[in-house]
Each structure stands twice: as C-alpha cells, then as structure tokens.
Chains A and B, each alone.
Chain A
C-alpha cells in the first residue's frame, strides 16, 4: 500500500521557468508532471484544438475553465489518449509525461493510462459489486498484493469506506450519484496513478455531493496531480491551485488564452477576454 510512490516517479523534463511558473510564493517551484507542447487536434477535418502549450505541475490541482464547446474536454482526453477511441481523430504536437511523448510510437497507451487515470462527467461504475469495481483495474494490470487491503485503502482515500464497508458485495449501481462518483474515484486510485484527469466530475451531482467531491480533490492533491475540467468558475476557484482559461479562437478551434495561479487569474487576469469571461460578460 504505497500511494506515496507517485512522488518517486519524477518526470525527467526540464523545469519550465516561464512566467506561469515563476510565482513561487507558496513554496518551491514544483516539477511539471505533464507538459503539453503545441497540441493540435482534429475531429475529421474540423480543428478542435489549435496548438495548446500548457505545463501541469506535480501535486497541484489544475482547473480548466472556459465556455461550452471550447475544447476543454477534448484537451483533457488528449492527456491520456482517450481520443484514440474516436476513429476520425487526429493529433499533432507532444504531450510529455515521465520524459516521453505519450503519442510517440514506442509508448504503449495501455501502460500510460494506468498512470494517468480518469474520472468522467457521468458516474460510470461497472455493473459489478463495489469490491469488483475497485478490483477491476488492479486485476487487469496484474496486481499481486492483497486485494482486500487495496480495496479498503482505495475506498478510504475516496472517503467512501465508512458508507460501504459493510456491504462491499452490493452493486455499484445501487449507490447514490455522489457515492457512485466517489466509487469511480476510488476505482481510479486503485491502480496507483500519478495523475487523475477529471472531466466535469460534479456536473451530474447535487450541491452536497459536489462539496464532498471538492473536499476530496483538495485532499488527493497531497499525493496526486489533478487536472479538472469544470464549467463552474466557483468550483475552479475553490479547488484549484492553478487555472487555465480556454476559448475558441477566430477559426473556431479551442485555444489556451491564459494560465495562472488561480487566485491571480480570478483577481487580476492579464487578458481582457479572461476578465470578460470571469466577470460574466459572455459565456
């Protein structure tokens, strides 16, 4: 049971000391876990991302905000090659993780996805027991330790253990929406990833369940790097250390307008479009 091993797998990428990362008021500059270099993405002939360059520091929560259809989710799904499943999709540029471009020929997407997990917009537990939902990832990845311990540890990390410990044989689908989403987070944690991508994880949940997930995200930051897409600016302000603002450019493709420490982006944004968006003038 070592969730802490995440910290020992430092990517071999040079520190990026650009303007975005220079702010080190709260401690030393953290190394970047995921570095996106000029990432372009097409659905068929339609360009959906027009060259995104973004660094994601270790053990921080990076929020991605922006109006609907601006490519937030598309970008997120590029970070663990989930878009591979779409036959018409095409990617250019690089996503560096652990010193390697995950789109390089010699990188195995299956191996990479174990270390870059994902939580989806709608809770999607398997129609299996709570226990088997958690055990799925470890089993497919050849986990050889004690499964009972791993299941308990994962559920505890996701703050779900106390609610389900007496009934692990119950179907995951019988849980409430918020519990299902925490089950999905526990399931993602069970394969001991370094990064967790969250695609609007609270959009299908009520305010109380949302609060619990947000608390959880802040706790998980201690051991994991989290990238969260959200359409809710208050949520981005509450949970994230750093926020990236996406918008459609003049050609209708998603682009990165600005990224900064969350507090600074929401108080003194450097781009007029960011200010217009966060003050509610559009979007």
Chain B
C-alpha cells in the first residue's frame, strides 16, 4: 500500500518552484519595461523643452517669432476649459450614477442604458467633436466659444464619470445602507449621508482621471473649431479660446527653426498639469477612500 501511495503522486516540487520564479521575473520585466518607456519620454521631453520653460514662456502670447512666443492663452484656455467642464460634467455624471445604482428598477431598459453608457466611453473623441459642432456650435449658436468646448468635453467624459461613480457607489456594502434604513433614515438621507460619503473617494478619483483625459484631448476641440492663434486672455465662457494640446500641435506643424523646441516646452507644461491632476486624484483617494472589512 505504501508503495502505491508513493507511485500515485509525482510532486515535481523543483519544477513548480522554478515556474513560480520564472513567472515573477516575467512580471518584473513587464513593470520595468513600462517604467523605462515613461522615464525615456520624460528625459527626452525635459531635455528638449525644459530650457524653454520660464516666466516669459508662461506669460507671453503666441508669436510668429519663436523667441517671443509663449503659451499664456493656451494655458489659461486649458484651465478655463477644465473648470467649465467640471461644473457641467461632475453633477450630471454623479447624478446619473446615483440614479442608475440607487433608484433605477432592475429592468431590461436599465440594463440596456447601462450597457450603452459603457459603450459610449469607447467612442472616438472626434465623434464627440462632430456632435459638439452640430449641436452646441451651430444649433445652440454658442459659436466656437469656451462654453461650446466645455460642453463637448463634458459629453466626452460623462460616460467615464458615470462608470467610475457607479463602481464606487456599488462598492459601498449593503450593510451600510441597511444600518441607515434601520435607524429610520429615508432613501435620500441614506444616499447623501451614507452612500455618497463612503463612495466619495472613488467618485472624485474617477472624475479627476476623466478630467485629466479631457485636458489632453485635441481632436474634439479642433473639430468644433477652436483657434490655434489667440493673442488675448479668455475672460468668460463665451470667449474664443485655444488649449495646450492645440498650441503644441500648431507649433509642431510649423517648419521654422525654434518652434519644435517651443512644442517640447508646451509638452512639459501639459505633462506637469496632467501629473498634478493625477497626484490630486491619488491624494484624494488616499484621504477619502474608506475601508470596510
């Protein structure tokens, strides 16, 4: 019998351990490869454009002469667009997510809507640009204004915010809702006092990451006709505007000496804005995300 027991098992411990180590090495290589590409990009961009970034670069308007040119109007345009897009997209996105998760009955229609919101998150951004051009610029007659741009960007990131917020709301355990109801809270009180505070970290993280995507988008704004040369500060939502990626795109396409360095400088600023936004997202996640066991 003992002989049988020994012959029934073939543990191959050394092989299994070797496979385990090989797999660990593979994951390390993938990680390092990703980091290496990112570092190479940063080194290259900062090497080319780092010297461009100074006070003059940030406070000057674009110019035909590379040594005079700056990205003041593009930076201000990006910041304006960021604020307006947030004001439009955040309440709409979170509101839709609350409805879908907390209020909507579980019917085929609800599931159909949920599926399509997920699909909308994958629609190419230029399509949103065309929609914005037809709907906001022409039909609403908003022209090529910041408002039209922000509404277009809001459409673009709305699905991302809804999906991220729904995930965050769904991650709140039902035991929390039950605790609230059992104390005599209404549905509204339960949503606002228990569900949203608990989901807040995830909702804000998702929103900031969606906004970071909006900052980097060029196609929809070119489609709605944002200008490439703006030599004044945007002062209100109805003003014409440009944004950093468009300014960079414009500089890259100019053949004259000096403009490619300006483009590199613009990329440095854009990256800084993006990294800043992502750091805020990380910080918010760290501060607000609650743990339930």
Query: Restricting to A113-149, which residues have a CB under 8 Å from any CB of B?
Result: 113-115, 117-118, 120, 122, 124-128, 136-137, 139-141
Q: Do residues B181 and A137 form an inter-chain contact, with CB atoms below 8 A?
A: no
Q: Do residues A184 and B184 form an inter-chain contact, with CB atoms below 8 A?
A: no
Complex CA–CA separation, A188 to B179 (angstroms): 9
Q: Do residues B290 and A140 form an inter-chain contact, with CB atoms below 8 A?
A: no
Q: Is the interface of B mostly helix, strand, loop or mixed?
A: helix
Selected from A80, A87, A136, A190, the residue in CB contact (under 8 A) with B180 is A136
Q: Which partner residue on chain A sits nearest B184 by CB separation?
A: A114
Selected from A87, A113, A128, A187, the residue in CB contact (under 8 A) with B181 is A113
Q: Do residues A124 and B178 form an inter-chain contact, with CB atoms below 8 A?
A: yes
Query: Restricting to B252-293, which residues have a CB under 8 Å from any CB of A?
Result: 290-292
Q: How close is A127's CB to chain B, nearest CB, in angstroms?
A: 4
Q: Do residues B183 and A191 form an inter-chain contact, with CB atoms below 8 A?
A: yes
Q: Which partner residue on chain B sits nearest A177 by CB separation?
A: B293
Q: Which partner residue on chain B sits nearest A128 by CB separation?
A: B197
Q: Do residues A126 and B178 form an inter-chain contact, with CB atoms below 8 A?
A: no
Q: Do residues A82 and B182 form an inter-chain contact, with CB atoms below 8 A?
A: yes
Given A117-B183, A126-B194, CB of A82 within 8 Å of CB of B189: no
Counting chain B residues whose Cβ lies within 8 A of the other chain, the interface size class is: 20 to 34
Q: Which partner residue on chain B sits nearest A121 by CB separation?
A: B175
Across the interface, which residues of B come within 8 angstroms of A188, CB to CB? 182-183
Complex CA–CA separation, A263 to B193 (angstroms): 44
Query: Restricting to A83-138, which residues have a CB under 8 Å from any CB of B?
Result: 85, 87, 110-111, 113-115, 117-118, 120, 122, 124-128, 136-137
Complex CA–CA separation, A118 to B182 (angstroms): 6
Complex CA–CA separation, A124 to B183 (angstroms): 12
| A205 interfacial by beta-carbon distance below 8 Å | no
Across the interface, which residues of B come within 8 angstroms of A124, CB to CB? 173, 175-176, 178-179
Q: How close is B148's CB to chain A, nearest CB, in angstroms?
A: 41
Query: Which of B174, B182, B290: most chain A CB closer than 10 A?
Result: B182
Q: Do residues B183 and A136 form an inter-chain contact, with CB atoms below 8 A?
A: yes
Counting chain A residues whose Cβ lies within 8 A of the other chain, the interface size class is: 20 to 34
Complex CA–CA separation, A177 to B184 (angstroms): 24
Q: Do residues A82 and B181 form an inter-chain contact, with CB atoms below 8 A?
A: yes
Q: Do residues A120 and B178 form an inter-chain contact, with CB atoms below 8 A?
A: yes
Q: Do residues A140 and B184 form an inter-chain contact, with CB atoms below 8 A?
A: yes
Across the interface, which residues of B come within 8 angstroms of A164, CB to CB? none
Across the interface, which residues of A come within 8 angstroms of B15, CB to CB? none
Q: How close is B104's CB to chain A, nearest CB, in angstroms?
A: 11
| B31 interfacial by beta-carbon distance below 8 Å | no
| A173 interfacial by beta-carbon distance below 8 Å | yes
Q: How close is A228's CB to chain B, nearest CB, in angstroms?
A: 15
Task: Kindly list 8 other residue pairs between chains A and B, CB separation below 8 angstroms, not including A124-B175, A125-B179, A126-B194.
Answer: A82-B181, A113-B183, A113-B184, A118-B182, A124-B178, A126-B176, A187-B183, A190-B183
Q: Give 13 pairs: A residue, B residue, CB < 8 Å, sorted on A.
A: A80-B182, A85-B177, A110-B184, A120-B178, A122-B175, A125-B179, A127-B290, A127-B292, A136-B185, A136-B193, A140-B183, A140-B189, A190-B183
